[in-house]
Amino acid sequence: MTWKHPSTPVTKKFKVQRSAAKVMAIVFWDAKGVILFNILPQGQCISSFLYCSTRDCLRDVILCKRPGLFRRGFVLQHDNATPHSANLTQQWLQRYGWEIFPHTAQNSYLIPSDFHLFGPLKCHLGGMAFKTEGDLVGEWKNWFAHLDLDFFRVGIYSLVLC
């Protein structure tokens, strides 16, 4: 309750709309495009267990679609978030012998997914409204599918110059 003078005009209340729900996506990509695209269930956060199971899926996809990646050497880049540095994750990485590209928090240009991939995706989706999560995911997949291969090459090869 607010106290006010009787001659003060009534404040107009705006209709409150529920804001859009957030969707968390996990995207693994290389110089040839998107390798694995996963959506977390609504309200679920990434954990080391979920991160390792997602990498199991990634490993299976790579073995089927791009087996040459393992022959040439495979390097994974992720930041120092808790699921990435957890013991379970470290054990998984040692078991499969995956190399980790070092990540320093001070070098934002070393995060190609955050800036090179998700920045343009955010611009593309700006102003769009989606009725269902499936519609949003469909638009993401459509956008990924229509990207030129040079887009992915530039993002990955820019890491080499760092």
Question: Which range marks the domain in which residue 79 is found?
Answer: 46-103
- Residue 88's pLDDT is 92
Phi-psi region of 43 (alpha: psi -120 to 50; beta: other; left: phi over 0): left
Q: Is residue 26 part of a domain?
A: no
Rounded-to-integer distance, Cα 74 and Cα 55, Å: 13
Is the separation of the CB atoms in 130 and 139 below 8 Å? yes
Q: Is residue 5 part of a domain?
A: no
Same domain as 132, residue 116: yes
Residue 118: HSE in the Cβ half-sphere, 13 Å Cα cutoff: 11
Residue 6 has pLDDT above 80, yes or no: no
* CA-based radius of gyration for the chain: 21
Count: domains in the chain: 2
Same domain as 146, residue 161: yes
**First and final CA of the chain: distance in angstroms?**
58
Same domain as 51, residue 98: yes
Q: Which pTM does this prediction carry? A: 0.74
Residue 109 has pLDDT above 60, yes or no: no
CATH number at residue 64: 3.30.420.10
Helix axis angle, 118-125 to 133-145, nearest 10°: 120
Same domain as 61, residue 96: yes
Q: Is residue 2 part of a domain?
A: no
CA distances from 56 to 1, 90, 98 (A): 56, 14, 12
pLDDT (average), residues 118-134: 88
CA distances from 151 to 29, 112, 148 (A): 11, 11, 6
Domain end, chosen from 103, 119, 150, is at: 103
Q: pLDDT digit string (tens) for 23-41? A: 888 888 888 888 888 888 8
